C-alpha cells in the first residue's frame, strides 16, 4: 500500500473542523469498510458534520481509508510505528488522536479481515440424524442404521454482493461414517503434530 500523498494528508487535516473527538471517531470507523470511500451517503454525512464540500469529504474518507488499511496490512501495533507516517507539519494533536483511534480499532479490523478473506464456501451449520431402515424393495425386513447429514455453507463474496447460502444433504452408511471418522482423526493427528512444532 502506498503512503499517502501530501494532498491526502491535507485532506486528513479537515478533521480539525470536527465538532468533537467522538465525531472524528465516528467518521474514522465509518470510512474503514471497503467501498466506504466511494459511498455518497457517507460522504454527505461527513460533509455535513465538518461543513465542507462533498468532494473534500470524499478526499478525506479516501485518505483515512488508505491510512487505516495500511496500518492493518503492515500490522503496526504501537504509536511509535504509526506516528512517523505523518509529515512533520501535520497537526500534532490530530495526529495523536487519529493514531489512537486507529489503534483502538485495529484488532477488530484485523479479525474482520481474517474472517472475510477469500475462501471456499464456509461451513456455518451442521445437522445429523440417524435413521433405521426397516424395509426396502430388495429386502422386506431389515435393520440397517444410516446417517443423514446436512451442512449449511455460506459463500461470502469479498468484492460485492451479499452472502449466498447453500445446503447440502447427504446419506452415509455405517462404513462410510467409520471411514470418514478415520480420515478426520488423521487430520486431527496431523494438526497436533504441526501445532507441536
Partner 1 sequence: MLQLHFTNDTLPDNVSTDFQNLNKLSEQQFVRLTEILYQFLLEPKESERFLRQLTEFAGENGMSAGPLRALMKSVLLLPHGALKRNLTAEQVKADLLSLGLNEDKARHFSDQWRIHYPVLSRLAVGQTLMVNQLVDMEWKFGVTVGTSELQKTGNIFLQLKLVIRKGNTTENVYMELTLPQFYNFLHEMERAKASMDCFS
Give the interface with partner 1 as residue ranges (CB under 8 A).
69, 72-75, 110, 113-114, 117-123, 126, 128, 130, 132-133, 136-147, 149, 151, 153, 168-174, 176-181, 183-185, 187-188, 190-191, 194
- Residue 89 or 115 with smaller CB distance to partner 1: 115
Q: Provide the sign of the torsion angle of the four alpha carbons 35, 40, 44, 50, taken in this order.
A: positive
Kindly give, in sequence order, each residue whose CB lies less than 8 Å from that of residue 112, ignoring residues fewer than 6 positions away: none
Q: Give 181's contacts (C-beta < 8 A, 6+ positions apart).
A: none
Q: How far is the CB of 166 from partner 1 (least distance, A)?
A: 9
Strands of the chain, DSSP E? 122-133, 144-155, 164-172
Q: How far is the CB of 76 from partner 1 (least distance, A)?
A: 10
- Cβ nearer to partner 1, comparing 93 with 193: 193
Closest CB to partner 1 among residues 19, 183: 183
Cβ atoms of 10 and 88 within 8 Å: the answer is no
Quote the CA–CA distance of 140 and 111 in Å, as a whole number: 56
Question: CB of 148: closest distance to partner 1 in angstroms?
Answer: 8
Query: Minimal distance in Å, beta carbon 90 to partner 1?
Result: 24
Amino acid at each position: 500500500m502506498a503512503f499517502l500523498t501530501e494532498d491526502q494528508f491535507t485532506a486528513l487535516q479537515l478533521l480539525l473542523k470536527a465538532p468533537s473527538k467522538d465525531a472524528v471517531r465516528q467518521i474514522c470507523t465509518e470510512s474503514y469498510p471497503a467501498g466506504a470511500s466511494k459511498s455518497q451517503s457517507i460522504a454527505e454525512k461527513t460533509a455535513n458534520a465538518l461543513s465542507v464540500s462533498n468532494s473534500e469529504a470524499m478526499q478525506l474518507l479516501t485518505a483515512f481509508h488508505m491510512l487505516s488499511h495500511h496500518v492493518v496490512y503492515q500490522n503496526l501495533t504501537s504509536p511509535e510505528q504509526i506516528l512517523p507516517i505523518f509529515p512533520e507539519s501535520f497537526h500534532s494533536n490530530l495526529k495523536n488522536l487519529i493514531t489512537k483511534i486507529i489503534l483502538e480499532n485495529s484488532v477488530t479490523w484485523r479479525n474482520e479481515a481474517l474472517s472475510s478473506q477469500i475462501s471456499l464456501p464456509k461451513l456455518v451449520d451442521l445437522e445429523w440424524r440417524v435413521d433405521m431402515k426397516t424395509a426396502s424393495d430388495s429386502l422386506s425386513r431389515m435393520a440397517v442404521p444410516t446417517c443423514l447429514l446436512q451442512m449449511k455453507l455460506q459463500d461470502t463474496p469479498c468484492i460485492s454482493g451479499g452472502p449466498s447460502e447453500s445446503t447440502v444433504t447427504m446419506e452415509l452408511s455405517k462404513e462410510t461414517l467409520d471411514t470418514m471418522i478415520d480420515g478426520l482423526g488423521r487430520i486431527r493427528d496431523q494438526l497436533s503434530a504441526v501445532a507441536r512444532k
